[in-house]
Structure 1
Amino acid sequence: MKALHGRSCVWLWAFVLQGCFQLSTSLIYWTAYVEVRYFDRVSNQTVGSICECGVFGVDSPLNSASGLLVLPDSDPLACSRNTSFTPRHQPWIALIKKGNCTYSQKIRAAQRQGASAVVIYNLDGTGNDTNLMAHSDAKNIVAIMVGNVLGTEMAGLVKNGSDVYVVITVANPRGLWYSSTWAYALSFTFIGVTIITMFYFAFLFFKRMYRNKQLRMQQMEMKRENEKAIAKLEVRTLRTGDPEVDSEDVSCVVCTDSFKHHEQVTVLPCRHLYHKKCIEPWLLEHPTCPMCKFHILKYKIEEESEEPPSSSSSSADTFSLSVIRTEQLHTHPLGRPSDGEVQTQHIYENPAFEEGAETISQD
């Protein structure tokens, strides 16, 4: 039983840890460094900036990519089947706005045109917030999401005729596993499972203690019943003329010794004979005859269940007996039955009385 509970606890821990691991891996994502360079015609200088503001898609390979930023020709959302791009040179990266269709449709539209990577920027009013993209139908191409502020700025530069170059590199993993939130969640999970396990084993311990207490009480009650039954057994002292004394055919089964005179013996209700000092310890533990397995407590219960005859029946028998005697006295002046009459036979409950009555009649 203990081994079974131990295995159950191990499986419970394994299940919890597996669930926590799967949850943590599903919520891990990788950020991307996004470097933007373009030529400013006003200052005649190349302006560049870099930030960790991109998020790789769930199904995107974690690779670096670079190229000229290109917008869709007609539909900025790239949701139509006829979406096209017009890059001036290779390699190039598609810049598409989120909305109206799935990420996979947008990425496939750019992938069919030969893009080396896809940058999707968030909806208006979301600021620098990004979402974790799932695009299981468009794998094998680098795809990231950036915030609406950066995406709108890059799209405005391209629309104004500037050549915008983007470099995408892998940054850092993020998620519950790499944050304090995950540490707190894991700590609370560990503490919770530990408390549940402790309560479970405490429940098993108290349940076992209760069962042992009940068993001890039952054993004590059984021992008291055995002692009461043993106290009512017939005990006698053997004399020299008793047939059991020094007999080769009769001996105590418990100690296998023959019976001697002046020894105290106990006679069970099944009429088997044992030494008193031998049979009483046996009966305290096993209230049955060692030879025939007769149960002394069962005999006690059957003996107590026998009810004495009711007073009404005894009075009725007395009344009928007196009536018979009165009739007999009326048939003969001296109270004796006449010739040819059958004498009434008296029935006694005690056999000793019956034997005494037979002796009187013979006299």
Structure 2
Amino acid sequence: MARMSSSSCVWLPVLVLQCCFQLSASLSYLSAYVKLRYSDRWTNETVASICECGVFGAHSLQKSASGGIVLPNADPLACSMNITFTASHEPWIALIKKGNCSYSQKILAAWRNGASAVVIYNIDGTGNDTNIMSHPDADDAVAIMIGNIQGTEITNLIKSGTDVYMAIAVGKSYSLWSAAKWAYALSFTFIGITAITLFYFAFLFFKRMYRNQQLRMQLREIKRVAESAIAQLEVRTLRRGDPEVDSEETSCAICTDSFQHNEKVTVLPCRHLYHKKCIEPWLLEHPTCPICKYNILKSKMDEESSEQHSSSSSLDVSFCPPVVMTVTSTHQHHTSDVQTSENHVYCGMDVQTQHIYENPAFEEEPQTLEHPNINNQITTNGEV
């Protein structure tokens, strides 16, 4: 997964740069020189004009064309079925208004009727603004767009009976952005992609470091708990006469050797027996019994929780009654309670103290420690 993410990050800048270059190509267009010539009906003078006011379509043939301008019959938008054109001279150029149907449909309708080129003028209210036409289904024709004002003037001249001649020539290539703006945009895009890639790799690096650190901390904690649990396991030395010594039925499940005299063995809480030198490395790696899968850490945690509970309950003791020592005389006919000069009160303290060993195998018989205050003896008639 890490390799896949790294390879995707490497290819990401390349793909973005490719998209930027494709976008730059789509944002460029080719202009067209439009030359008009017609005869004024009132003065009989020839009027000629030329301007770089046309734009070649995105899928148009980029070459020159000329001819008389012809309007579509019946439908100025040329979107109707079986649209026709009436041309009196060859070659001729179709003049169609934008709207209602696609550019491809308009261009194909004029191309099927024999037009040498197609001129589409913009819709009303757009002035002399032009758009870049997309006509992928009609890429074998010369097609340009001109502004609405110019197209409307030519249409009115033709409708008034004036023959208008048009010549189309290839103009210059332009970009929708200036070269300086495009260079700045491309530079900032590249810097941004590089920064995002670096931040992503840095995020992956620190995330992996954090996970490794957490894993090491968990392993250290588990090892510490395992060592503490191992230290409290019962360890004893085998003596002669023990049923495990030289027994064919009992052997160490780790090394598969039988138990011998004077060998130190560890007894797990599940009562399974192993060599001490065999089971301790095993428990550090796998804190479970090799035979029954008993988890020694579970018992360790249970002991710690019980110790915390007992310590908290001992702190809750706030009162204990005084202990009054009484002595009964055997020479009197009745029993009299004789109290000492002062009452000894023992609160929360046992008379006997038992040594607690970390390993239960080394525990000895409890010894009784007498409190010094108990040594006070009361003698009545020579008896204690």
Q: Same fold by TM-score, threshold 0.5 exceeded? A: yes
Offset from partner CA, 1:54-93 (integer Å, 9 cap, x none)? 2113454434311245678999988999997664x32233
Say whether residues 1:295 and 2:311 are aligned partners: no
State the match for 1:232 in structure 2. 232
Question: Structure 1 residues 160 and 272 mapped into 2: Cα distance closer, same or farther (>3 Å)?
Answer: closer
Check conservation: 2:35, 2:48, Cα contact below 8 A: no
Question: Structure 1 residues 121 and 305 mapped into 2: Cα distance closer, same or farther (>3 Å)?
Answer: closer
Check conservation: 1:65, 1:167, Cα contact below 8 A: yes
Q: Which moved more, 1:252-261 or 1:51-60?
A: 252-261
Check conservation: 1:177, 1:183, Cα contact below 8 A: no
Check conservation: 2:234, 2:266, Cα contact below 8 A: yes
State how far apart, in whole Å, the 1-side matches of 2:157 and 2:31 are.
24
The alpha-carbon deviation at position 226 of structure 1 amounts to 0.9
- State, as a whole percentage, how many aligned pairs show the same letter: 65
Check conservation: 2:84, 2:113, Cα contact below 8 A: no
The alpha-carbon deviation at position 94 of structure 1 amounts to 4.4
Q: What residue identity is the alignment partner of 1:132?
A: I
CA RMSD of aligned residues (A): 5.2
State the match for 1:352 in structure 2. none
Question: Structure 1 residues 105 and 255 mapped into 2: Cα distance closer, same or farther (>3 Å)?
Answer: closer
Check conservation: 1:38, 1:48, Cα contact below 8 A: no
Question: Structure 1 residues 95 and 229 mapped into 2: Cα distance closer, same or farther (>3 Å)?
Answer: closer
Q: What residue identity is the alignment partner of 1:214?
A: Q
State how far apart, in whole Å, the 1-side matches of 2:294 and 2:104 are.
86
Offset from partner CA, 1:316-342 (integer Å, 9 cap, x none)? xxxxxxxxxxxxxxxxxxxxxxxxxxx
The alpha-carbon deviation at position 25 of structure 1 amounts to 5.9
Q: What residue identity is the alignment partner of 1:247?
A: D
State the match for 2:211 in structure 1. 211
Check conservation: 2:73, 2:83, Cα contact below 8 A: no
The alpha-carbon deviation at position 46 of structure 1 amounts to 10
Question: Structure 1 residues 121 and 273 mapped into 2: Cα distance closer, same or farther (>3 Å)?
Answer: closer
State the match for 1:65 in structure 2. 65
The alpha-carbon deviation at position 252 of structure 1 amounts to 3.9
Check conservation: 2:238, 2:245, Cα contact below 8 A: no
Say whether residues 1:119 and 2:119 are aligned partners: yes
State the match for 1:222 in structure 2. 222
Say whether residues 1:31 and 2:7 are aligned partners: no
State the match for 1:347 in structure 2. none
The alpha-carbon deviation at position 229 of structure 1 amounts to 1.0
State the match for 1:243 in structure 2. 242
State the match for 2:276 in structure 1. 276
State how far apart, in whole Å, the 1-side matches of 2:255 and 2:92 are.
106
Q: What residue identity is the alignment partner of 1:206?
A: F
Offset from partner CA, 1:25-63 (integer Å, 9 cap, x none)? 6545432233456799x9x999775x5432113454434
Q: Which moved more, 1:285-294 or 1:102-111?
A: 102-111
Check conservation: 1:32, 1:53, Cα contact below 8 A: yes
Check conservation: 1:31, 1:173, Cα contact below 8 A: yes
The alpha-carbon deviation at position 146 of structure 1 amounts to 3.0
- What are the ranges of 5 or more consecutive residues in structure 1 without an aligned counterpart? 312-363
Correspondences of 1:1-363 after superposition (within 5 Å):
1-6=1-6, 9=9, 27-35=27-35, 49=50, 52-58=52-58, 60-69=60-69, 87=88, 89-94=89-94, 114-121=114-121, 129-134=129-134, 141-147=141-147, 165-175=165-175, 181-239=181-239, 241-243=240-242, 247=246, 249=248, 250-302=250-302
SS in 1 for 2:3: helix
State how far apart, in whole Å, the 1-side matches of 2:247 and 2:19 are.
78
SS in 2 for 1:145: strand
State how far apart, in whole Å, the 2-side matches of 1:175 and 1:116 are.
28
| Count of equivalent residues | 307
Check conservation: 1:251, 1:258, Cα contact below 8 A: yes
State how far apart, in whole Å, the 2-side matches of 1:157 and 1:119 are.
16
Question: Structure 1 residues 19 and 272 mapped into 2: Cα distance closer, same or farther (>3 Å)?
Answer: same
Higher helix fraction (1 or 2): 1
Query: With structure 1 as the length reference, what TM-score do the two structures score?
Result: 0.59
